[in-house]
A and B are shown apart, each in its own frame.
Chain A
Amino acid sequence: MSSSRAENALLVAGKTLSVAMMVAGFLFLLGPIVIVVISSFTSASYLTFPPPEFSLRWYYEVFSLSWFSRSIVTSFVIAIIATAISAVLGILVARALARGTFRAKAIVEFVVLTPLLLPIVVLGFGLFNLLVTLALEGHNFVNLIGGHIMITVPFVVRSVWSAMAGTDITLEEASLGLGATPFETFRNVVLPMARPGIISGGILAFTMSFNDVSLSIFLTGPRASTLPVEMMAHIEYSADPTPAAISTIMLAITLIIFAVTSRTVGLKIFA
């Protein structure tokens, strides 16, 4: 019997250890984020944890910063425009890739998905190089939109393509056979069936565009800059708690997108 008791002890020890390691893993994953949120409500003029007293001081400070209001608006506008254009481009090409068996399919697929293969820093520096050669590097806003479209299109293509590939082609044939035009069929049959893929692709594209640094850092300039790039610059030359307050604001925005995601298409799209 003693061996089974030893085994039981081992089992309990193993269970305790695995729970402890799991807690440690989640602390590692979420601890720094939680600490930033708590630190942002400090009354001190430098970062301390725990804060000596709680105050909203740094939030007032953040909303009075002109670069913050400017760059958060720019980030939203760029993310919305880039997502919308990426969605249209992505849906069209996904349609061709999902249903078509044309000779150039492999080339189209390769080109459209290239941004997934290359490091984003390389794409950013490459685009920056070309823009300098063409003397177009000053048009920060347009360049950022173009760049963001380029890195987000593959995400839309992948999720819309897989959604379209899973749909029943006979429904389209039925629609055409019953006298609907190809355009009506596309609008009323094909698009609704691909809806989950379109929503997932759109959410991924928006998140990616809103958070991007690796590409945007090469394209921002005096005319337009995004929030993550501006925040990064601020972190590098100043030690006050404003980035903590900005981080908390960005976390709140992320939480909203996150809630929308889990209500609509589910969290599996990130897995």
Chain B
Amino acid sequence: MLSATQRNWALSLPAFVIVGLLAVVPAVMMLASAFTSPDIEGFTLANFEKLWNSKLAFQAFWRTIRVAIIVTLITIVLGYPLAIGFLRAGPRMQSILLPMLVFPLMVSVVVRAYGWIVVLSPSGIFNQVLLGLGIVASPVDLLYSETAVILGESQLLLPYMVLSLMASLQKAESNLEEASMSLGANPVTTFFRIVIPISVPGLLTGTLLVFALALTAFATPLLLGGGRAPLLTTLIYSFAFTTFDWSAAAAVGLVLVILALAFVWLQRWVGQKVMKSYE
């Protein structure tokens, strides 16, 4: 007979060993290799110095943060009407809208990015509309730019924001709004004084989730930004497979991991704070 501890270890061991050997050990070894260089013996900060002096890496760093901020703002602006509209719709309408909101989450990221390639290409519908309306004289080259990456990532992450907002708005009773209106507040006042404050926990979780996912998105920026708008994630890939500078790739990886972990930590900290203030 096994003791309880032995049994728990036996149950945990397969997953522990496999995830440990395939995820934790390789990631730690790779991140540690950022402090080594083929030309220098022992510990070195040469790779980080190189990144610091590289215009490409510097731009990619700020672009990553800028894109994540803009994407988060776009998902907030588009997310509120969707979340509020969804909750105000009748049950029949909701049963149509929920699948439309969740289905894109299951669709391959490559397929969703390809959708934007089709829409934004010089002969695509976006340019046809602009040309047809006489807004531009010749097609706008939006593809392979930071704008394309922002559009693609916003579409990718919008459902997460909407679902987070819905979760907190759902808890608030809609008669709170009715009360506000019947007590004489107009819809605008009601929106800013009632709806927004109620949605704060959802807004916070949505913001942190979308921001963290935007920081680490890979396929979308690779397809829509190409070499012209590299982010930290795509820079790792191009250092690894185009210039074969693996130590530099590891250094970029470490920067990305620090950013991502800082966010995970912030997420937990905010989560606890918000939980407490809303109990």
Contact = CB atoms under 8 A, between A and B. Distances in A.
Interface stretch (B22-30, B37-45, B47-55): B22-30
Nearest to B104: A29
Contacts of A25: 78-79, 81-82, 158, 162
A18 B118 contact: no
B158 A7 contact: no
Interface residues on A, range: 35 or more
Chain A binding surface, main DSSP class: helix
Contact of A92 (B11, B28, B123, B219): B11
Given A33-B111, A270-B105, A123 B27 contact: yes
B198 interface: no
A129 B158 contact: no
B81 A18 contact: yes
Given A89-B14, A93-B15, A96-B11, A35 B236 contact: no
A19 B29 CA distance: 52
Interface in B221-279: 222-223, 233, 236-237, 240, 246, 249-250, 253, 256-257, 260-261, 264
B181 to A, nearest CB: 9
A29 B108 contact: no
A231 B222 CA distance: 13
Chain B contact residues, majority secondary structure? helix
Interface in B83-135: 84-86, 97-112, 114-119, 121, 123-125, 128
A207 interface: yes
Contacts of B233: 119, 121, 214
Nearest to A13: B187
Interface string A9-29: 011001000110110111011
Contact of B118 (A39, A100, A120): A39
Contacts of A261: 106
Interface in A152-190: 153-154, 157
B186 interface: yes
Given A26-B82, A30-B104, A213-B219, A150 B22 contact: yes
Given A100-B8, A125-B240, A125-B253, A49 B128 contact: yes
A36 interface: yes
Nearest to A267: B102
B27 A122 contact: yes
A19 B84 CA distance: 10
A254 B154 CA distance: 21
A69 B115 CA distance: 22
Contacts of B180: none
Contact of B222 (A112, A151, A232): A232
Given A121-B256, A247-B114, A258-B106, A129 B12 contact: no
Contacts of A73: none
Contacts of A243: 114
Contacts of A46: 123
Nearest to B84: A18
A271 interface: yes
Given A232-B222, A243-B114, A93 B81 contact: no
A56 interface: no
B58 interface: no
Contacts of B98: 267
Interface of B: 4-5, 7-9, 11-12, 14-16, 18-20, 22-31, 33, 78-79, 81-82, 84-86, 97-112, 114-119, 121, 123-125, 128, 154-155, 158-159, 162-163, 167, 186-188, 215-216, 218-219, 222-223, 233, 236-237, 240, 246, 249-250, 253, 256-257, 260-261, 264
26 contacts: A18-B81, A28-B155, A29-B100, A35-B119, A49-B124, A90-B15, A93-B15, A104-B12, A114-B23, A120-B218, A122-B30, A122-B236, A122-B253, A123-B23, A126-B23, A126-B27, A150-B18, A150-B19, A151-B23, A213-B110, A217-B237, A228-B110, A232-B222, A247-B114, A270-B105, A271-B163
